Amino acid sequence: MDLEVTPAGANSDTRSDARISHLALDIGGTLAKLVYFSGNEKLLNDDRVQSSAEVGGRSSSILHGRLHFAKFETGKIDECVAFINSKELGSQHPKELGNGKIVKATGGGAFKFADLFKEKLDVCLDKEDEMDCLVAGANFLLKAVHQEAFTYIGGQKEFVQINQDDLYPFLLVNIGSGVSMIKVDGNGKFERVSGTSLGGGTFWGLGKLLTKCNSFDELLELSQQGNNRVVDMLVGDIYGGGDYNKIGLSSTAIASSFGKTVSANKVLENYRTEDLARSLLRMISNNIGQLAYLTALRFGLRRIFFGGFFIRGQCYTMDTISVAVHYWSKGDAQAMFMRHEGFLGALGAFMSYNKQGPDNFIHLMKQDPKHEPEFDGTAPEEEDSEYASIDCFLDLA
């Protein structure tokens, strides 16, 4: 019951009453994501609440606390179970009528691990549809969270001011193990219009085989030191060093990802793992960027938001996706990234506790300094700063 587990990305809560009052899960093909709310202090006539939302007169059903984010490898789901066990679900946590506690859960793991959660935690996973949750999570973040979306162009991050009256339609591209592309027209109004199996799992899986590295972070680190030109066949390699001007291809454009390895008299061991990782990351990111744009074009969409843990705030990944969208759309469409990239589904599942729908459930406290982003163009070193907890209140009305 008291197992101490510190997950990647979790923020430890030092408050004595830090039991979890609401918890939701998104258990995907590779990672299990948790969003949980702790702290059960009731806010009565608090100025910050009054100015954050019109909830006057209903303060008895308002909980103040922090929303936390954590992730575990799905392959080590026991660590996730132990973490929840160590935190304990408090008395406020929703229960089935006359029965034990329920936890909102989405992703394939909500089905796959339902028995495990029942057995180990005596918790019933209440399943929510993955696409519903992704969309609800994205809509909430884009509308409620200050400086959630940003562009990444030429090495510069720039926050996007979201105009709530002009947000829809957009294309949501979630890059998890696989990739889902969803046309979003409003709250709960969406259609999954495309997808591809060449996603984050492909990068991580092929990368692991090619470089023998042991963790996703190690693979990303390798990629930062690599040179893809050693592996990729460029237009110049084919055209004797020159451009292919007639069809607008410069000599440095990639003609064929990994294409150079065919004619070089080398085996895998002769390549630097850094170069292989770089080329692989570029290939996957570029392909997703291109497919995303083609899908957006099919439906006349100009705004494309990218989520999913494949991105991990990586400059090279975001840059490659942005360049692909810009190149293929001739500057017409724009790639935008989301700060809480990997938690869209878990947040959506969390919001489904609200019977009235996703709106007006989570309210962010005004001017939470902890929530001010610190983007400097580099990937955060510490997981904790990556997904800082959010000071907020839940309206349980």
Footprint on this chain of ligand PAZ (rule: CB under 6 A): 28-29, 107-108, 130, 176-180, 195-197
Using the minimum distance from each CB to ligand ADP, give the nearer residue, 28 or 90: 28
Q: CA 213, 69, 81: angle at the middle one, nearest 5?
A: 75
284 burial class (0-12, 13-18, 19+ CB within 10 angstroms)? buried
Residue 299 in tokens: 């439906």
What's the CA gap between 177 and 159, in Å, rounded?
Answer: 27
Compute, in degrees rounded to 10, the torsion defined by CA atoms 130, 133, 135, 136.
170
Using the minimum distance from each CB to ligand PAZ, give the nearer residue, 148 or 341: 341
Say whether residue 9 binds ligand ADP (CB under 6 A). no
> How is residue 300 annotated by DSSP?
T
Question: In the block, which residue shows the tokens 């720039």?
Answer: 158
Site for ligand ADP in 55-74 (CB under 6 A): 73
Site for ligand ADP in 221-280 (CB under 6 A): none
| Pairing verdict, β 334-338 and 149-153 | antiparallel
Q: Where are the alpha helices (DSSP H) in the chain?
A: 47-52, 77-87, 109-112, 114-121, 130-144, 200-211, 216-224, 235-238, 260-263, 273-298, 315-329, 344-351, 383-386
CB of 197 to ligand PAZ, least distance (A): 5
CB of 107 to ligand ADP, least distance (A): 6
Say whether residue 39 binds ligand ADP (CB under 6 A). no
Using the minimum distance from each CB to ligand ADP, give the nearer residue, 40 or 177: 177
> How is residue 89 annotated by DSSP?
B
Q: How many residues bind ligand ADP (CB under 6 A)?
A: 18
Instruction: Choose among ligand PAZ, ligand ADP, none what residue 197 binds, the Cβ cut-off being 5 to 8 Å by kind.
Output: ligand PAZ
CB of 180 to ligand PAZ, least distance (A): 4
Strand partners of residue 101 = 95
320 contacts 326 by C-beta, under 8 angstroms: no
CB of 175 to ligand ADP, least distance (A): 7
82 contacts 5 by C-beta, under 8 angstroms: yes
| Pairing verdict, β 254-256 and 303-307 | unpaired
Instruction: Choose among ligand ADP, ligand PAZ, none what residue 312 binds, the Cβ cut-off being 5 to 8 Å by kind.
Output: ligand ADP
Considering just the CA atoms, what is the radius of gyration of the chain in Å? 22
Say whether residue 30 binds ligand ADP (CB under 6 A). yes
Instruction: Choose among ligand PAZ, ligand ADP, none what residue 293 binds, the Cβ cut-off being 5 to 8 Å by kind.
Output: none
What's the CA gap between 58 and 363, in Å, rounded?
Answer: 14
What's the CA gap between 87 and 14, in Å, rounded?
Answer: 11
Instruction: Choose among ligand ADP, ligand PAZ, none what residue 180 binds, the Cβ cut-off being 5 to 8 Å by kind.
Output: ligand PAZ
Say whether residue 353 binds ligand ADP (CB under 6 A). no
Residue 343 in tokens: 């938690």
CB of 176 to ligand ADP, least distance (A): 2
CB of 214 to ligand PAZ, least distance (A): 22
Instruction: Choose among ligand PAZ, ligand ADP, none what residue 169 binds, the Cβ cut-off being 5 to 8 Å by kind.
Output: none
Using the minimum distance from each CB to ligand ADP, give the nearer residue, 111 or 302: 111
CB of 99 to ligand PAZ, least distance (A): 29
Contact string 191-210 vs ligand ADP (x = CB under 6 A): ---------xx-xx------
Q: Which residues bind ligand ADP (CB under 6 A)?
A: 28-31, 73, 107, 176-177, 200-201, 203-204, 216, 308-310, 312, 342
